[in-house]
Amino acid sequence: MKRSSAEYFLGPITARWVAEHTAYDPPHMFEDIQVKGPFRNWCHRHIVESHPDGAILRDEIEYEPPCGFLGRAVAPILIEKRLRKLFSHRHEITRGWCEGRGEE
């Protein structure tokens, strides 16, 4: 399976996030799991659904934050807010690319 990596920032701390693509069913979906990164567990499914105007990209994310109980307690405030912002931005970039106005 293919792996990808990226750097992420938590304030002044930079760390590496490595994901492995574990499922691929074009043009319907692909999935990646975290091999190394900030979460105890992470599974992300990119799902493309038909729509009368084209298609809808939907993300399904299952994760377990670090730090046990404390991580679960702050996840709705800190983690989920950042994830919504991140995926909103990524969807706009994907939309632009699909509509021919994005950059590679």
Q: Residue 28: which domain range?
A: 3-98
Q: Measure the CA angle with vertex 3, ends 18 and 8; round to 5°.
A: 25
To 5 degrees, how large is the angle CA 96–CA 62–CA 21? 60
What pTM, to 2 d.p., does this model score?
0.75
- Give the pLDDT confidence of 20-63 residue by residue, as tens digits: 999 999 889 999 999 998 889 999 999 999 999 888 889 999 99
Q: Quick one: pLDDT band at residue 83, thresholds 50, 70, 90?
A: confident
How many domains, the chain? 1
Angstrom distance (rounded) from CA 102 to CA 85: 19
| 82 in a structural domain | yes
Q: Is residue 104 part of a domain?
A: no
In a domain? residue 103: no
